[in-house]
Structures are given as C-alpha cells and as structure tokens.
C-alpha cells in the first residue's frame, strides 16, 4: 500500500479555491484509492489519538483475501494452550479404596476427548505418575473411557486420588509400543479445542454539506500535502479540505478505531430485513480466548503474574515484544508499581535520571523533577512497552466511575498484544476483501466544486445545493493467536 501523504495543517481562511484544489480532485474516479489515502493520512497525523488502529494502517498490517465478499470470513485454529486431556471422573479397579493403581492394577480414565490410543503414555502434571493407555476409547455418557496401566516400580505405589477428580488435567508424554504392536501412538494437531470461523463486517458514514454551510463554515480549511513519485522524483502538491470534511474524517477515524476494539459478533436484520454482519473486535477476541484477570491495585508482582499466566502453558515464547494498550489510570498505576518495586529493593538511581535543568520565570535555577516507567524487561528478555489508548478514557463510550479513585473504570484497563511483524505476516492485522477495504466517494450537486462538476460533463448527481460524502470500510480485526494475549481490568 503506497504512502501518498505527508501531513495535515489546520489553517484559517479559504475561498472558492476549493474549486481547483479540493482533495477529491486528486483521485476523482478512484473511491477505493481515495478512501485508503484519507485513512492513511489521518492514521499518520493522529496516531496518538488512535494508536492501535493507526499502527496497523501505518505498518500496512493488512491482509487482502482473494474472492472475499464485503464481509471477509476466516477459519482459524488457535494453537492449543496445552497438550492436555480433561478428566471427567476417575474409576479405580481397587474396590473404591482411593488407592489408584495399588498392586499395579489397571485404572480407568474417563476423559472429555477421544484423543488417546493404545501405547500413549500420560501424566497428571507430575511426571512421577505415569499411565500407559491399554485400550481404545469407549463411549461413556458425555465422555470417553480408557483402561490404563500404571508405570510403577513396586506393588505398593499408588496415584493420589486428587489426580482423578473431575476437571483434572493430564498430558500426553509419548507413546511406547511393544514388539509386534502396530499402534504407534496418537498425533494431536494443535488448535483442535479452539477451531472457529470468524467473520468480518462493514461500517458506513455519510454527511452532507450545503452551499450555505460551505460559505459560512467558519472560513477555515485544512491544507493536505500529498507526495507522489513523478519520473522517479518525489513531488509535493497541496490540496485542501473544508473544515466540515476534516471534522467528519476525524470522526470516521474514531468510529473505525472503536469498531476494531469493541465490535460484537452478531447478525442482525436491518430495517430492510437484510442481514447486517459485524466482526468481533480485538477486545472481545482477547476477553473470550485470551487471559482475562481482574485486579484491585496494580503492583509489579501482579504484572509479572499476568505475563506468567499468558506464557506459562507454552513451551516457547511469542516471537515479538509485547505492547500494552492502556487507559491513563492504568498507566499511572503501572508507573507507580515499578517505582514502588524499585524502592522495596533498596536500589538507588542517579539524580540526573529524575532531575533536569529547565527554564522558568520563577527562578533562574529551575529544576524539572520526574520520570515515568514506560517499558519493562521480563526475565525471558522480552520487552513490554505501554502505550496510551485514549479509547479507554472516552467518557462518551464509557460512563461507569470507580468509587475509590473517581476515575472511569475503563481507564484502568490494560490490553496485552503482540503487534510485531509487517503486512500480512503481522501477528495482529486487518483482513479485508481484495481491493475493497475502504471507499470514499463524493456525490456532487449545485455547489462551487466546478471542476468536479465539469468532469461529469456538466451533470450532477443531485439537484440539491449541496454535496455529500459517503464512507465505507470492510474489515475483520484479526489476531493470529488470542491465547497469547490478555486483559487486566479494574474489578472492585
């Protein structure tokens, strides 16, 4: 995706120069290119207001799907968080004594999934205790029953009853076959428990500007510098937007950012009885499939426990560093937590890290005090960076107040994501129909955008003394593996 833009500059005073310099003139017959141009332009200019969405656009973290409809659809299999079976109930052949496997007698293991075959060997989270599967699965109620032999060195050994209680988790170790046995063990394909299909959605926006509004709009406009390659040289050209269009574009950016975060998966019949489809936003993908953890106060210990829970079920770690998107209250707590942790360790830092010379009308020897913790390094050498996500501080979107701090409850939210990689290889990206992510088109009427009107051979799309702008965005917010993500939320 080419970057054709440079900057937006808000300036006062404009006249009918809109006729010759309007942004729509640059790509009049290319609503798709114009839509992406505007999206990229505002993503770069207002990156601090919409950090996640802007990051995806600016890094071109977009995957186009061939043959996709307006609502892209993807079948995903998230890697399994553990190589495990879940025990429904254990049933010993030892007469109900609770001494499972006493005398090297067989035991029965009743599981939720028929994943095992004879010769598989399993363990309940403690390698001291191992069972070898001796039979194929037999259907029993809502689960599957296996006969298994304990691997003991003496007849007095037993397996504690706690490993056979409902909900216990066992893992496959390996498979060992005896001579002549054709059963060579099972193969577990990752993601079986978390296979699903997720769908994208479409959002729209429309606004109309009359001739009176055009003339009386506080006579302000925005200068847009566009860069294009002409015969190998970069040439900058200035175009303009009316203030109303600029405001609408910023609002459109906010709505797309909200959609990427918080859209709920649903299919709803619209007023015409046709279906409206919605994607699942990043926040709900993480809440449903990642690690969600409520807290009353953020501490350094809590942060480390949070990441341990995300990474603990893994043999390896995620390939990229971790980005935290957080509300302002969470960022303040994050900073305070690690300063408190530093103090508790009795460590000292040089004063030049927190005291700097500055200028002030109050003193000729003014000092500036303060430093903020914005990143930490985990024990596995990963770097965690925290970013402000203003969406969590939006009082239009959230209204619930924390009675302790008086802040928005949402402002205490931290979302952990891996946004490493570029383009379609990025771990967090937008999936869109090929050639059809965003459209922006003008419907012109009797307004002084004369060159646009002339380009249609004098005909206009409406007889109104106005012009209209229509926006469409088709997208599917997508995380390769939400089980590697997490949410910390204020819960008190």
Say what the alpha-carbon torsion angle 48, 49, 50, 55 is, to the nearest 10 degrees: -10
CA distance 238 to 224: 6
Q: Give me 30's structure tokens.
A: 């290319």
CB count within 10 Å of CB 212 equals 10
> Is the Cβ–Cβ distance between 444 and 467 less than 8 Å?
yes
SS3 at position 65: strand
Average pLDDT estimate for 401-405: 93
Closest CA to 326 of 402, 387, 408, 398: 387
CA distance 276 to 474: 12
| Buried b or exposed e, range 423-447, using 16+ CB within 10 angstroms | eeebbbbbbbbeebbbbbbbebbeb
Sheet with 486-490, strands from edge to edge, namely 291-295, 486-490, 414-417, 322-326, 383-388, 375-377
| pTM score, whole prediction | 0.65
CB count within 10 Å of CB 104 equals 14
Amino acid 20: pLDDT: 42
Number of residues written out for the chain: 492
Amino acid 11: pLDDT: 45
Confidence check: pLDDT of 324 > 70: yes
Which one is predicted more confidently, 97 or 209?
A: 209
Average pLDDT estimate for 288-316: 81
CA distance 247 to 394: 18
Closest CA to 489 of 261, 294, 310: 294
CA distance 246 to 240: 9
Confidence check: pLDDT of 395 > 80: yes
Confidence check: pLDDT of 132 > 80: yes
Confidence check: pLDDT of 185 > 80: no
Q: How far is CA 69 from the centre of its chain?
A: 23
Select, from the ranges 39-43, 104-108, 382-386, the one with the highest average predicted confidence (pLDDT).
Answer: 382-386
Confidence check: pLDDT of 404 > 80: yes
Helices (H) then strands (E): counts for the chain: 9, 27
Amino acid 232: pLDDT: 55
Helix axes 31-45, 51-58, angle to 10 degrees: 120
> Is the Cβ–Cβ distance between 1 and 430 less than 8 Å?
no
CA distance 447 to 450: 8
Q: Which of 80-84, 167-171, 318-322, 349-353 has the lowest mean pLDDT?
A: 80-84
> Is the Cβ–Cβ distance between 492 and 402 less than 8 Å?
yes
Name 12's Cβ contacts closer than 8 Å, sequence gap at least 6: 218, 219, 220
Q: Give me the residues paired with residue 468 across strands.
A: 208, 443
* Lookup result for tokens 């995706």: 1
Q: What is the DSSP string of 78-137?
A: PPPS-SEEEEEEEEESSTTSS-BTGGG--EEEEESS----TTEEEESS-TTS-EEE-S--
Which one is predicted more confidently, 327 or 396?
A: 327
CA distance 60 to 397: 27
Q: Please return the burial class of 101, using the count of CB atoms within 10 Å of its CB with bins 0-12, 13-18 and 19+.
A: buried
CA distance 72 to 64: 9
Select, from the ranges 18-22, 335-339, 441-445, 455-459, the one with the highest average predicted confidence (pLDDT).
Answer: 335-339
> Is the Cβ–Cβ distance between 188 and 173 less than 8 Å?
no
Q: What is the DSSP string of 183-233?
A: -----PPTTGGGEEEEE-EEEEEEEEEEHHHHHHS-SEEEEEEEEEEETTE
């Amino acid at each position: 995706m080419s970057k054709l833009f440079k900057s937006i500059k808000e300036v006062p005073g404009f006249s009918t120069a809109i006729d010759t310099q309007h942004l729509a003139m640059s790509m009049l017959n290319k609503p798709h290119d114009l839509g992406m141009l505007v999206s990229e332009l505002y993503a770069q200019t207002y990156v601090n207001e919409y950090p996640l969405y802007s990051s995806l656009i600016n890094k071109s973290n977009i995957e186009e799907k061939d043959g996709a409809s307006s609502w892209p659809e993807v079948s995903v299999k998230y890697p399994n968080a553990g190589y495990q079976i879940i025990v429904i109930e254990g049933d010993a052949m030892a007469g109900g004594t609770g001494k499972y496997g006493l005398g090297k007698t067989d035991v029965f293991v009743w599981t939720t999934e028929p994943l095992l075959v004879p010769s598989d060997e399993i363990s309940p989270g403690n390698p001291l205790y191992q069972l070898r599967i001796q039979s194929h699965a037999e259907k029993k109620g809502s689960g599957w029953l296996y006969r298994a032999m304990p691997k003991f060195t003496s007849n007095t050994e037993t397996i504690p009853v706690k490993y056979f209680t409902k909900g216990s988790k066992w893992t496959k170790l390996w498979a060992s076959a005896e001579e002549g046995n054709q059963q060579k063990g099972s193969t577990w394909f990752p993601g079986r428990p978390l296979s699903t299909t997720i769908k994208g959605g479409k959002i729209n926006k429309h606004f109309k500007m009359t001739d009176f509004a055009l003339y009386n709009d506080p006579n302000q406009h925005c200068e847009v510098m566009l860069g294009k390659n002409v015969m190998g040289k970069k040439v900058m050209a200035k175009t303009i937007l009316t203030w109303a269009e600029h405001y609408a574009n910023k609002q459109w950016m906010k709505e797309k950012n909200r959609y990427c975060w918080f859209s709920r998966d649903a299919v709803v019949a619209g007023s015409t009885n046709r279906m409206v489809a919605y994607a699942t936003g990043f926040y709900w993908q993480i809440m449903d499939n990642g690690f969600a953890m409520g807290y009353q106060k953020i501490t350094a210990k809590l942060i480390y426990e949070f990441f341990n829970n995300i990474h603990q079920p893994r043999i390896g770690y995620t390939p990229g560093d971790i980005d935290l998107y957080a509300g302002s209250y969470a960022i303040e707590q994050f900073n305070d937590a690690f300063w408190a942790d530093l103090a508790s360790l009795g460590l000292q830092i040089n004063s030049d890290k927190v005291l700097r010379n500055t200028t002030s009308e109050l003193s000729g020897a003014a000092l500036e005090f303060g430093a903020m913790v914005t990143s930490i390094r985990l024990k596995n050498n990963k770097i965690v960076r925290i970013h402000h996500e203003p969406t969590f501080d939006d009082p239009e979107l959230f209204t619930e107040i924390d009675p302790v701090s008086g802040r928005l409850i949402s402002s205490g939210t931290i979302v952990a994501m891996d946004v490493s990689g570029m383009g379609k290889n990025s771990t967090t990206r937008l999936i869109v129909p090929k050639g059809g992510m965003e459209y922006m088109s003008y419907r012109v009427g009797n307004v002084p955008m004369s060159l646009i009107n002339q380009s249609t051979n004098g005909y206009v799309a409406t007889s109104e003394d106005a012009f209209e702008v229509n926006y469409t965005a088709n997208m599917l917010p997508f995380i390769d593996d939400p089980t590697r993500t997490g949410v910390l939320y204020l819960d008190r």
